[in-house]
Amino acid sequence: MNKYVEYVLITLWNFNPAHLRKNPVMFITEIAFFVSIYVLIFGSHYGIITSGQYIPFYIAVIILLFLTVFFSNLAESIAEGKSRDISRSLREMKKEIMGRLLDNGTETMVKSGDLRKGMIVEVRESEMVPTDGEIIEGRARFNESSITGESRPVFKVQGDSVTGGTTVIDGKVKIRITSDPGETFLDKMISMVEGAARAKTPNEIALSILLSGLTLSFLIVVSSMFALERFLINQANIIFLVILLICLIPTTIGALLPALGVAAINKVSQFNVIAKSGRAVENAGDIDTIILDKTGTITIGDREASKFYPNRGVSDEDFYARCYLCSIFDETKEGISVIKKIDEIKGELSMPKSDGYEFIPFTPETKYSGVKKGKDFIYKGSPNAIWEIVGSRDNAIDAICAEISSRGGTAMVVTSKKGVDGVIEFNDILKPWIRERIDSLKSMNIKPIMCTGDNELTAKYIAAEAGIDEFVANSKPLDKFKKVEEEKSLQRMVAMVGDGTNDAPALAKADVGFAMNSGTQAAKDAANMVDLDNDPTKLMDVIFLGKQILITRGALTTFSIANDISKYFVIIPAIFYAFPALSFINVLGFTNPLLALTSALIFNTFIIPLLIPLSIRGVKFKPSGVNDLLKRNIMIYGLGGILLPFIAIGGIYYIMAGVGIAW
């Protein structure tokens, strides 16, 4: 079916009162439409219509009221049509994939729909991941272009999440399934886009209550005018009051509000971000503080070993051997880079046997990793963590660490049973555009805070390069949580990025918790947004998008209210034109009240389709302070909303009068 035909059919279907009652403004407009039809058909029988000259007027009113409701439904249908397009493309990604289920040492090929949370599958080179899971063993490069559109392979190791439908390019991994059928990220994204999980946000609810209150107030006012009908117009009085009501109530924003809510979720989905609620998107627009991790957010994130500094009395060969041994089981990107760098430098170097060694993995709490066999051990980690193990500081090594930190590198100290062996230097670089993004955040009065596990010197250097004034060095998971709590205690809205299980408490506490799809299941469950592209900097894009959504809603509300105020000053003087004492407020010189009301209704009807593209696309957003945005809204949408009705309604009136239309 042609999508435009589909839009029209859905638009007509949405005339159903059960659908429209959710939108009080349009519900009243639809009632007015049916009342007008009733008056046209039965008006002469009850003495409402006493002259045939008003028949064309009634027909015109019915057509305009129908178009008002039609355009409102059309705005929502177009926005939902984009949702359907997104959900169709997402459904196309979902496939029935065969997975290699491991159960007590046996392998069984099963369909992805038969896999359940907790099951273990193995995925080999050139095979597809059957459903969402977490790597528990192995490492591999993945092609995630089916999900993210990005063709560059993604390297993943133990602890990383994988998404169903992605492909292993090389390597082999064992995966623990983390989602039952119907609960995968694609399922959740489809559910949100299609509206099954979408609810009105607090701002939408507040605006709906305001519009309902205004509509009820004008309904009471217009109803009370029956007592004045003999002073107003002798004929067509009921239709006159119907038009007056529709012109007075806030039909413009009432018509566009449903489309605005749908468009907000669509925009986030197009960023390849799953928003678990509309409130999360709205919160993004109100953020005052953003807590950013250093690695992968402010810097490129592929931190690699670059130089080796053996301590006094330790030969190069011995130091390389110990670095190699403490990294041989390390599946992190840093550990892999140590092995790769030593292979580049030494080639055929004979390394010690790793048999019998127990691997000690890195944790954010301990900040070191390595191997241990009995009383023998070799660890690499942050200087402070190693000094705690050793029990004292090594001034020479401290000096090397300070030098590395002063130029933005990261130092890892290597120690063994024999003492402190030396330092490995890891390098990462700032993302090239991060400074501009940070400046944009600061221009909107959003405070960026950098959290990093690096020492004070490295943190200070990176923060200064990125333009960040506040940072937390030697950061542990509890520090991130405390920072979120501290900022929220100052009545600030807080956003933060995280991908580890230890980030889950802070993600849950933040107003906007932004997790990576490659992160742990705990992090994704705690967050209210998940990025399928695994790009931590996208949180800043989401904040800009949230601002744009709020500004668009504010701009259209400002325009609508300004429009309504102008219409009062255009319509009411025309109604009372026969009273000389009030003629001074009839600035447009209208002498035909019915023609003036018809002109206002025409303007009221056709301003809605003119604003549909703006409501779906959004107001052009430029990062700036609240005061600047307020001034811009008032000047463009406030002043424009006041002037446009005078110009447009006056033009329509005199064109109609000029061609001889007079009811």
Catalytic residues: 293
Beta bridge partners of 373: 376
Name 642's Cβ contacts closer than 8 Å, sequence gap at least 6: 562, 563, 565, 566
C-alpha 333/C-alpha 183 separation (Å) is 30
C-alpha 245/C-alpha 600 separation (Å) is 11
Handedness of CA 273, 279, 282, 288 (dihedral sign): negative
C-alpha 637/C-alpha 628 separation (Å) is 14
Residue 142 near residue 153 (C-beta atoms within 8 A): yes
| DSSP H or E run through 244 | helix 237-248
Beta bridge partners of 424: 308, 412
DSSP 463-521: HHHHT-SEEESS--HHHHHHHHHHHHHTT--EEEEE-SGGGHHHHHHSSEEEEETTS-H
Length of the chain: 663
Map residue 544 onto helix, strand or coil.
Answer: helix
Handedness of CA 457, 463, 468, 471 (dihedral sign): negative
Region at 38 (left for phi over 0; alpha for psi -120 to 50; beta for the rest):
alpha
CB neighbourhood size of 624 (10 A): 15
Beta bridge partners of 451: 293, 472
| DSSP H or E run through 85 | helix 55-93
